[in-house]
Structure formats: structure tokens, C-alpha cells
Amino acid sequence: MAADPDLVAQLRPVRLPPDFTAYDWHGGLAIFALALIAGLALAFALRVFTQARVSAKAAAARELALARSLAPDQRLVRQSRLVAALKQRAEEKGRHTEAARRQLAEIRAAIDAELYRPSPSLDPDALDAAILQTFGRGVGR
């Protein structure tokens, strides 16, 4: 649809208030503030969506590696907390197989039996391997 040139010529010019076209520091400050807010929102959204997620297996391995420097009784307490957290997570999310849940329960029972003894007989390195073995091959990649 083409506009009729005669009809367009009869239109009055656009009238704006005199202060509308004036650019002052208030407008510049408002534009800067809006740009800053938009930039912060974009940075937050990018951080949330592009942040690397650590797998449960990697987090458990890191926690066990940090516990290696502790005394044996403190290391056993740290392993007990980790197994309890993994067991709770497995029950809530259902990501582990039934065999892994059973294995976590057995590890937890073994730790509980040794936790309050004066000299625990559990091998901490074997316990670390057993904890990491509950993840299996495909989970936690």
C-alpha cells in the first residue's frame, strides 16, 4: 500500500515539547544507570548458565583428597560425613543403583562400628576406594 503524496503533504509537522529534544546530564545519568543494571543482569545470567558443574564423583574425590592430610580419627569422621551425605543424596535423587545404595549402607555401618573405638582398624585408603567405587563407571562423568 503506497501512501498518497497529496494526503501526506496535508499533514502537520510533528510537534514536540521544547525540552523533549534537549539532552542534559540527567538523561545521560539515567542511560548510564540503565546500561549498568542491564550489564550486571547479563553478567549474572551468563555466570549462572555457563558455570562449570562439578560432578558428585569429582566432589567426593576432592573431599577425600582433602581428608588425606588429617589424622586417622578425623579422617574417619570426614569419611563418615561424606558417606552420610552421599547416602542421603542417593535416596533423594535416585541416581545410584540399588547395589550402590546397599554398598553405601554397608560402608556407613562399618564406619559407625569403628568410629568410637580408640584405635579404628579400618584402612582409610581402602575406605576411600570403596566410597568412590559406589559411583560406578557411568555416573559422575
User: Is the pLDDT assigned to residue 108 strictly greater than 80?
Assistant: yes
Query: Which residues in 18-50 are b (16+ Cβ under 10 Å) and which e?
Result: eeeeeeeeeeeeeeeeeeeeeeeeeeeeeeeee
* 21-49 pLDDT per residue, tens: 667 788 889 999 999 999 999 999 999 88
Residues 57 and 135 sit within 8 Å (Cβ to Cβ): yes
d(CA 46, CA 34): 18
Structure confidence at residue 3 as a pLDDT band (50, 70, 90): confident
What pLDDT does 138 receive?
A: 43
Quote the pTM value: 0.57
d(CA 32, CA 34): 6
* 56-72 pLDDT per residue, tens: 888 888 999 988 888 88
Lowest mean pLDDT among 31-35, 47-51, 101-105, 126-130: 101-105
